[in-house]
Amino acid sequence: MKPSNIFSSYTFRFTFAYITGLSFSVFVLLAIVYAFFSYSYSQQVHNTISRELEGVQQSYERDGVDGVEDFFETALQRGNFTQYFFMLADENYNKLAGNLEKWPEYTRYRGGWLSFEFDILKDSDYDLRLLKPEDAQGIHNDRSDFVGRSLTLGNGYHILVARHYADVLNTIELVIGILVRGMLVTIILGTIAGALISRAWLRRVDYINTSIKNIMMGDLSQRIALDGRSSGDINRLVANFNTMLDQLTESLEGVRRVSDNIAHDLRTPLTRMRNRLERLLDKTENENLDEVQGLIDEADALLNTFSALLRITRIESAKQRESFSGVDAAAILADVVEFYEPLAEEKNQQISFVSEGQPVLFGDRDMLFQTWVNLVDNAIKYTPDGGVIKVTLSQTQGELHGKLCQYATILVDDNGPGIPEAEREKSFRRFYRVESSRGVAPGNGLGLSLIAAIVKLHRGSITLEDHQPGLRVRLQLPLIEA
């Protein structure tokens, strides 16, 4: 099974689209959850900074600088405050207390919030603290963003409470990474699952298609086997198809039986009538000979029509191909062309046969001979005097009914009136005759029907094409398997 068939199947495309849509939906949902979490977390940080700033102010108002130092020491001893930084500075922003080394250069935002950057120690061997530039040399540290608020006291002193949010950024990166990786892994696993499901599905579909093709080739006795491992929609579809095929086969068999019975029942009295007309011919006077002979010819035409109908019915109902064998297509076609050369000469026509190779067909010799006789006979019949008829045989490898095989191509070309494109498919129907051909040549409209039945039995194909001018009949018949 080709990988391209799996990836182009509806099942795979549906599964892939479903997995992609589901992953995207989950991603959007988690992003919304994260946005709410981030907002709530930011509000908590802001509220904490505001409370700590208020606490520093109250400590200073109560105990002065010593109170602020006690507050800072108490705050830093709390485990959940390792990310917070404090500073009390005089009116010139010189440090009086706190764990910040200097007053930072900041950017002020709405609501009095400040943002700045400092180098911060990152190794777990040290306490988390800010570094002086000279201390930061050679130590693993990182540039970290801070957010904070400041307050100016009545004597010109300044208080700063800040918090670095590297952990917030790390959380953002972690969540985004998990979301993206999770979505990619889901898509990849979903794609693999879709490919496996599609592969199993296509195996079943290919089996059904192969069975349907065999049925379409004329073997109406075939049925599609149900999958005993499941009882899903496909099994119900197959069961309904088999039931429909049973009813269709029964209807076709009924029509064939009626056709056979009519042909059998009418052929016997027609034969007796013809024999009596033939005996009557010997006793008829000269002035009535032509009329009696005309009746005999009409009876012969009716008998030929019924014989052709019975032959088509037998061919269409044929279920066994054990009698098929290797047939030398070039030898038979050469015999057919040679047989019709005298008739072509009577109409001053040129008939030729060109063989490109010696393909050996798998089929019934008599049926194939009858097919090519009918085609060449039609070409001579409808080609005007002085026309050209060409029969070509070649061997090709390609697809025939969707199956790669070796097949022979037989072309029968003439430069007669041809068949209009709109009527070419209809020409294979029983008793159908192109309107322009009526009265030009005798016939019953069963010749192409007989040919189509034989070609179908041989699992070949036949098409009518424009030869510009004239008609080209293209036959494709499979070769015998090596």
Start-end of CATH 3.30.565.10 domains in the chain: 325-478
Q: So what CATH class is 325-478?
A: alpha beta
Q: Does the pLDDT value for residue 154 go beyond 50?
A: yes
Contact 340, 376 (CB under 8 A): yes
With tokens 């070609």, the residue in question is 455
Mean pLDDT computed over every residue of the chain: 77
With tokens 């108490």, the residue in question is 74
Q: How many CB atoms lie within 10 A of CB 341?
A: 16
What's CA 270's distance to the chain center, in Å? 57
pLDDT score, position 68: 81
Q: What pTM, to 2 d.p., does this model score?
A: 0.48
The residue length of the chain stands at 482
With tokens 């907002």, the residue in question is 39
Per-residue confidence at 413, pLDDT binned at 50, 70, 90? very high
Contact 266, 304 (CB under 8 A): no
CA distances from residue 349 to 282, 390, 474 in whole angstroms, order as listed? 38, 11, 21
Lowest mean pLDDT among 65-69, 194-198, 331-335, 406-410: 194-198
Q: Does the pLDDT value for residue 411 go beyond 90?
A: yes
State the Cα–Cα distance between residues 140 and 136, nearest whole angstrom. 8
Which candidate, 148, 164, 144, 168, places its Cα nearest to that of 34? Answer: 168
Which candidate, 132, 166, 128, places its Cα nearest to that of 147? Answer: 166
Q: How far apart are the first and last CA of the chain?
A: 24
CA distances from residue 445 to 335, 428, 433, 442 in whole angstroms, order as listed? 25, 8, 5, 9
| CATH fold of 3-178 | Beta-Lactamase (3.30.450)
Give the pLDDT confidence of 301-339 residue by residue, as tens digits: 777 776 766 676 666 665 556 678 888 999 999 999 999
| CATH fold of 233-316 | Helix Hairpins (1.10.287)
Q: Taking each helix axis from N to C terminus, what angle separates 166-216 and 10-77, rounded to the nearest 10 degrees?
A: 170
Backbone φ and ψ for 314, nearest 5 degrees, come out as: -65, -40
Which candidate, 91, 87, 113, places its Cα nearest to that of 100? Answer: 87
Start-end of CATH 1.10.287 domains in the chain: 233-316
Q: Does the pLDDT value for residue 156 go beyond 50?
A: yes
User: Tokens in use for 177?
Assistant: 């990474």
Give the pLDDT confidence of 337-383 residue by residue, as tens digits: 999 999 999 889 999 999 888 888 988 888 888 889 889 988 898 88
Start-end of CATH 3.30.450 domains in the chain: 3-178
State whether residue 337 is helix, strand or coil. Answer: helix
Which candidate, 137, 130, 133, 127, places its Cα nearest to that of 160? Answer: 130
With tokens 């911060």, the residue in question is 120
Per-residue confidence at 122, pLDDT binned at 50, 70, 90? very low
Q: How many CB atoms lie within 10 A of CB 178?
A: 12
**H helix count then E strand count, the chain:** 8, 13
Contact 316, 218 (CB under 8 A): yes
